[in-house]
């Protein structure tokens, strides 16, 4: 502890914790632009996209309406389709051609996705991985679109087109003028990919009973986006970067074998024609029930499975008709194996039919959880963003582990054959359903360009998934969202990382850089930087502004600042444009006490300190070693200084102190007599990413307190700061980031005094029978059931 002696000129406050501001120290100033504005780093605002982050008065976007007729050729695993597209040119430009996405060409010979994919071989490589690396599944096959015709709808004349891998340009008879529309039709077919052999986001699963489950998406040629940011968004489909699509109204007629159960984007228009009387009755009941209603039962579906395996031609066909307005895409799933259930969830006074489709292999997990999770997700996401606007929300189980489309999504999560499942399987299934249903909001409603910015849908959605999981179960083991969960990723060598603001197909470790890191960043914004009230308001404002429109990253950044009044440019720079980690080091804490100049106190303290210094080991031993000194023997050797006590308080000391007190005003005297402890914290920003400084103080009486300082503490020096904190109580331990809020990658440097390193623990076991004993398992449910089964020869009730 050091004593301070100075003239008191501080303004007394009523705060429990008084802090002294750090003044600029120019010789130590480290020039940086971390707290300068993004400025020209963002697109220049205009009448289309404003400086506030809102759509401008001249904002426009294109529209494409589709009338689709498609048939599943089950024996040949083939899709046969036709469509009429009406394209509305809302732009100010005349368009001489349009660009079409041919997503199924990802699986065609010499597709840019597979042939540009890299891989490695180790000592062991799975068949699936080897197939992906060598592209052996599709390079010599006839996968991909067969385009049979492209015609002008009005004249019936063929249109000239050029296919460039996964993109197709259609040349028009004359340009589509601004505010005009144009219709054309296409016929096409393709072979459906078996998902286990390299499928991506769509395909079929072949079951041992001879039946298939089909999850069909990207099945029709789709208009590319033309907008004010990119023009035509026709980047090739490499499979990692997903889709950019325009809104429109869809009509869809899907023909499948007559014993199939089918779910699709939109409202079913002809339920009475395609459902059995029992199914129809249950379907209508589910629309108003707050409990899950089984529409097509497992018993019913098991009979269908046995009667007609998928390799045989169907006895008949049914055409299911759907209508979906103001959506950017459609998809469907179909199988004779599908069990079907549903319930109603009310959102903002509107009834939404939540449904699930799954084979019996998904039970008991799917029947218990899926539809309930769908309902919970649309309700919770509506609270944090915009009200769910669509009439249905569907979760389907099949080969696709997780993929989203408007009103419908494909999800994994399957129990063991005996019906048991691990905790990881359970929460993995609930998590993926939450995530994929959540994509209805981002990007199906807030319609960002996934081909360019994966984080704008995956990161925002993963963040809301985290909030939704917590409202499902307080103890939900969320994979992503908590700051400590991103630490291992951010610890990596900077050369192995890419910023969040990286184009989708160029992302390294997309799971971390596009899902986990942006979700964590948003959680930190909400909990630590902005606070829940400001964040939630701004996030809802962003969702409201851009619902059914197409925002860019700049629109998000600007809206979050505009609606909250918080300058976040430093945060976007560090978390979204950079790869530096958070690593704060509490280098030192200096302890000061105010020198009150009271001689009764100062001389007593000085005597105590002097006595401590004199108590050396030599003096301790001299007590017995030196029997008698010269002065002891001869008192004449003593003088004034042998009896002088420098620590005795004199009348002169008292008079001087009284004169000092008389010079103080009441506030100054109160401060002098306060008994405050002054601490100077010296913190180093080792990681580079500036973040708020949060410090916990543990006092000698066993209590504690937390002080919080905003990230702007680093604005004058982004490498080292000193911060003075005062406290009535004595602090015995200081800890940075005590609640693991900022993703600090090195906790060992967060304490002062430093805490002893914790040992790495190892298990001691005894080898018996040539192997290790003990250990747990990945499926405790299965183990518990097996332990309850009677052993052979111990069954009760048996008689000779």
pLDDT of 718 over the 60 cut:
yes
State the Cα–Cα distance between residues 621 and 412, nearest whole angstrom.
Answer: 78
Give the model's pLDDT for residue 758. 74
Q: Is 645 exposed, middle or buried (0-12, 13-18, 19+ CB in 10 A)?
A: exposed
Residues 6+ apart with CB under 8 A from 530: 538, 564, 566, 568
Q: 514-551 pLDDT, tens per residue?
A: 999 999 999 999 999 999 999 999 999 999 999 999 99
State the Cα–Cα distance between residues 453 and 47, nearest whole angstrom.
Answer: 23
- 523 close to 515: Cβ distance less than 8 angstroms: no
Give the model's pLDDT for residue 797. 43
State the Cα–Cα distance between residues 445 and 442, nearest whole angstrom.
Answer: 6
584-594 and 2-4 strand pairing: parallel
Residues 6+ apart with CB under 8 A from 226: 62, 91, 95, 98, 99, 232, 233, 246
Residues 6+ apart with CB under 8 A from 605: none
Give the model's pLDDT for residue 364. 96
Q: 60-78 pLDDT, tens per residue?
A: 999 999 999 999 999 999 9
pLDDT of 512 over the 90 cut:
yes
Average pLDDT over residues 596-613: 84
Q: 3-35 pLDDT, tens per residue?
A: 655 443 333 333 334 333 344 444 444 456 899
CA separation, residue 66 to residues 69, 227, 278, 323, 328 (Å): 10, 19, 32, 10, 10
State the Cα–Cα distance between residues 310 and 739, nearest whole angstrom.
Answer: 56
Q: 757-793 pLDDT, tens per residue?
A: 777 787 777 665 544 434 445 788 788 777 777 655 4
Residues 6+ apart with CB under 8 A from 301: 261, 336, 337, 338, 339, 359, 360
| Higher per-residue confidence, 647 vs 50 | 50
- 199 close to 400: Cβ distance less than 8 angstroms: yes
Closest CA to 149 of 176, 170, 174, 173: 170
Residues 6+ apart with CB under 8 A from 139: 109, 110, 114
Q: What stretch of H or E contains 554?
A: helix 553-564
pLDDT of 396 over the 60 cut:
yes
Q: What single string gives the DSSP state of each residue in 224-260?
A: PPEETTTEE------SSS-----BEEEEEEEEEETT-
- 189 close to 373: Cβ distance less than 8 angstroms: no
Percentage helix, strand, coil for the chain under 3-state DSSP, each rounded to 5 = 30, 25, 45
Give the model's pLDDT for residue 200. 86
Give the model's pLDDT for residue 23. 42
State the Cα–Cα distance between residues 571 and 148, nearest whole angstrom.
Answer: 52
Q: What stretch of H or E contains 786?
A: helix 780-788
Give the model's pLDDT for residue 628. 85
Give the model's pLDDT for residue 239. 87
State the Cα–Cα distance between residues 716 and 21, nearest whole angstrom.
Answer: 12
- First vs last C-alpha separation in the chain: 89
Give the model's pLDDT for residue 522. 98
Q: 118-139 pLDDT, tens per residue?
A: 666 666 666 666 665 554 455 5
pLDDT of 645 over the 80 cut:
yes
Instruction: Locate the DSSP E strands across 548-627.
Output: 584-594
State the Cα–Cα distance between residues 404 and 217, nearest whole angstrom.
Answer: 9
Closest CA to 575 of 433, 689, 736, 731: 689
Give the model's pLDDT for residue 26. 47
Rounded to 5 degrees, what angle do the CA atoms 709, 713, 715 make?
A: 155
Give the model's pLDDT for residue 686. 96
Rounded to 5 degrees, what angle do the CA atoms 400, 512, 137 make?
A: 35
- 3-class SS of residue 788: helix
Q: What is the largest CA-CA distance in the chain?
A: 133
Give the model's pLDDT for residue 609. 87
| Residue 263 backbone phi and psi in degrees, to 5 | -125, 145
- 3-class SS of residue 244: coil
- 199 close to 193: Cβ distance less than 8 angstroms: yes
Average pLDDT over residues 720-732: 94
Q: Sorting pLDDT into bands at 50, 70 and 90, what band is 100?
A: very high
Average pLDDT over residues 363-389: 98
Q: Which two tokens stand for residue 203?
A: 């395909």
Give the model's pLDDT for residue 762. 79
What residue spans of 247-392 are helical by DSSP H?
271-274, 277-286, 298-307, 365-384
Range with the lowest mean pLDDT among 301-315, 320-334, 367-381?
301-315
Average pLDDT over residues 469-483: 95
408-411 and 392-397 strand pairing: parallel
State the Cα–Cα distance between residues 367 and 371, nearest whole angstrom.
Answer: 8
State the Cα–Cα distance between residues 694 and 161, nearest whole angstrom.
Answer: 61
* DSSP 8-class letter at 29: -
- 3-class SS of residue 248: strand
pLDDT of 171 over the 90 cut:
yes
Evaluated on CA atoms 723, 728, 734, 735, the torsion sign reads negative
- 3-class SS of residue 796: coil
Closest CA to 578 of 687, 451, 487, 716: 687
What residue spans of 232-331 are helical by DSSP H?
271-274, 277-286, 298-307
Give the residue carrying structure tokens 């780093």: 41
Give the residue carrying structure tokens 């199914």: 279
Give the model's pLDDT for residue 24. 44
For residue 729, the Cα-to-chain-centroid distance in whole angstroms is 41
Residue 194 β-bridge partners: 204
For residue 95, the Cα-to-chain-centroid distance in whole angstroms is 38
Q: Sorting pLDDT into bands at 50, 70 and 90, what band is 173?
A: very high
- 461 close to 402: Cβ distance less than 8 angstroms: no
Average pLDDT over residues 370-391: 98
- 301 close to 360: Cβ distance less than 8 angstroms: yes
pLDDT mean across residues, the chain: 89
Q: What burial letters (b/e) apply to 292-322, b meaning 16+ CB within 10 Å? A: bbbbbbbebbeebbeebebeeebeeebebbb
Q: 306-328 pLDDT, tens per residue?
A: 987 766 777 799 999 999 999 99
Q: Sorting pLDDT into bands at 50, 70 and 90, what band is 39?
A: confident
Give the model's pLDDT for residue 14. 33
Give the model's pLDDT for residue 400. 96
Q: Which two tokens stand for residue 357?
A: 């489709």
- 570 close to 557: Cβ distance less than 8 angstroms: no
- 3-class SS of residue 686: coil
State the Cα–Cα distance between residues 11 and 445, nearest whole angstrom.
Answer: 53
State the Cα–Cα distance between residues 268 and 527, nearest whole angstrom.
Answer: 42
- 583 close to 744: Cβ distance less than 8 angstroms: yes
Query: For residues 524, 525, 527 and 529, what is the CA-based torsion angle, rounded to 10 degrees?
Result: 110
State the Cα–Cα distance between residues 581 and 596, nearest whole angstrom.
Answer: 44
Give the residue carrying structure tokens 């502004």: 545
Cross-sheet strand order for the sheet of 212-216? 203-206, 212-216, 332-335, 261-264
Average pLDDT over residues 592-618: 85
Give the model's pLDDT for residue 800. 34
Peptide bond into 364 cis (omega under 30): yes
Share of the chain above pLDDT 90, in %: 72
């Amino acid at each position: 502890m050091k004593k301070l002696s100075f003239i008191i000129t501080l303004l007394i406050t009523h705060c429990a914790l008084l802090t002294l501001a750090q003044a600029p120290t120019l010789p130590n100033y480290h020039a940086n632009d971390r707290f300068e504005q993004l400025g020209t780093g963002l697109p220049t605002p205009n009448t289309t996209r404003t400086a506030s982050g809102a759509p401008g008065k001249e904002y426009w976007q294109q529209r494409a309406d589709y009338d689709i007729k498609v048939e599943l050729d089950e024996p040949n695993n083939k899709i046969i389709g036709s469509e009429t597209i009406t394209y509305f040119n809302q732009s100010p430009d005349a368009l001489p051609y349009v660009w079409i996405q041919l997503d199924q060409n990802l699986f065609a010979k010499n597709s840019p996705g597979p042939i540009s994919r890299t891989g490695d071989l180790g000592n062991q490589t799975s068949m699936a991985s080897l197939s992906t690396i060598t592209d052996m599944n599709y390079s010599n096959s006839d996968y991909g679109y067969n385009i049979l015709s492209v015609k002008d709808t009005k004249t019936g004349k063929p249109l000239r087109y050029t296919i460039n891998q996964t993109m197709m340009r259609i040349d028009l008879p004359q340009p589509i003028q601004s505010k005009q529309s144009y219709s054309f039709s296409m016929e096409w077919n393709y072979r459906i990919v078996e998902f286990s052999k390299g499928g991506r986001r769509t395909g079929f699963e072949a079951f041992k009973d001879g039946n298939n489950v089909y999850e069909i998406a990207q099945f029709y040629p789709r208009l590319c986006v033309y907008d004010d940011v990119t023009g035509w968004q026709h980047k090739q489909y490499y499979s990692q970067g997903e889709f950019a699509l325009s809104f429109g109204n869809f009509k869809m007629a899907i023909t499948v074998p007559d014993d199939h159960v089918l779910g699709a984007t939109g409202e079913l228009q002809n339920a009475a024609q395609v459902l059995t009387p029992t199914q129809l009755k249950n379907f209508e009941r589910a629309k108003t029930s707050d409990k899950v209603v089984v529409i097509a039962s497992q018993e019913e579906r098991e009979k269908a499975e046995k009667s007609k395996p998928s390799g045989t031609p169907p006895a008949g066909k049914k055409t299911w008709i759907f209508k979906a307005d103001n959506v950017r895409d459609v998809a469907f799933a179909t199988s004779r194996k599908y069990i079907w259930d549903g319930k109603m969830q009310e959102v903002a006074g509107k009834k939404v039919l939540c449904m699930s489709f799954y084979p019996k292999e998904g039970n008991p997990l799917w029947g218990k959880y899926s539809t309930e999770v769908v309902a919970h997700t649309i309700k919770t996401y509506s609270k944090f963003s915009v009200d769910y606007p669509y009439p249905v929300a569907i979760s389907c189980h099949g080969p696709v582990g997780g993929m989203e489309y408007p009103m419908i999504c494909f999800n994994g999560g399957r129990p063991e054959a005996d019906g048991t499942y691990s905790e990881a399987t359970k929460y993995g299934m609930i998590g993926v359903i939450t995530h994929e249903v959540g994509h209805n909001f981002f990007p199906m409603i807030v319609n960002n360009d996934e081909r360019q910015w994966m984080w704008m849908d995956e990161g925002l959605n993963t963040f809301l998934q985290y909030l939704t999981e917590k409202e499902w179960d307080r103890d939900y083991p969320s994979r992503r969202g908590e700051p400590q969960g991103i630490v291992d990723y951010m610890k990596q060598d900077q050369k192995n990382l890419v910023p969040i603001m990286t184009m989708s197909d160029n992302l390294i470790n997309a799971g971390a850089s596009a899902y986990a890191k942006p979700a964590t960043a948003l959680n930190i914004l909400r909990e630590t930087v902005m606070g829940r009230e400001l964040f939630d308001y701004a996030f809802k404002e962003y969702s409201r502004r851009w619902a059914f429109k197409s925002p860019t990253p700049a629109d998000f950044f600007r809206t979050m600042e505009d609606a909250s009044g918080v300058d976040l440019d430093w945060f976007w720079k560090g978390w979204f444009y950079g790869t530096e980690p958070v690593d704060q080091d509490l280098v030192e804490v200096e302890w000061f006490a105010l020198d009150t100049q009271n001689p009764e106190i100062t001389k007593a303290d000085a005597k105590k300190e002097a006595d401590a210094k004199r108590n050396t080991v030599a003096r301790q031993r001299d007590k017995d070693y030196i029997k008698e000194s010269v002065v002891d023997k001869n008192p004449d050797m003593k003088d004034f200084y042998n009896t002088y006590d420098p620590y005795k308080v004199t009348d002169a000391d008292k008079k001087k102190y009284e004169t000092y007190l008389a010079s103080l005003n009441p506030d100054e005297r109160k401060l002098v007599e306060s008994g405050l402890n002054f601490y100077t914290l010296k913190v180093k920003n080792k990681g580079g990413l500036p973040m708020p400084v949060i410090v916990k103080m543990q006092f000698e009486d066993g209590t504690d307190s937390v002080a919080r300082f905003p990230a702007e503490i680093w604005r004058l020096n982004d490498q080292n700061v000193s911060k003075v904190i005062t406290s009535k109580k004595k602090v015995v331990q200081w800890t940075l980031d005590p609640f693991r809020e900022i993703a600090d990658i090195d906790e060992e440097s967060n304490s002062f005094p430093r805490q002893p390193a914790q040992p790495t623990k190892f298990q001691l076991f005894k080898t018996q029978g040539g192997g290790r004993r003990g250990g747990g398992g990945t499926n405790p449910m299965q183990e518990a059931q097996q332990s309850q089964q009677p052993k052979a020869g111990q069954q009760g009730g048996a008689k000779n």
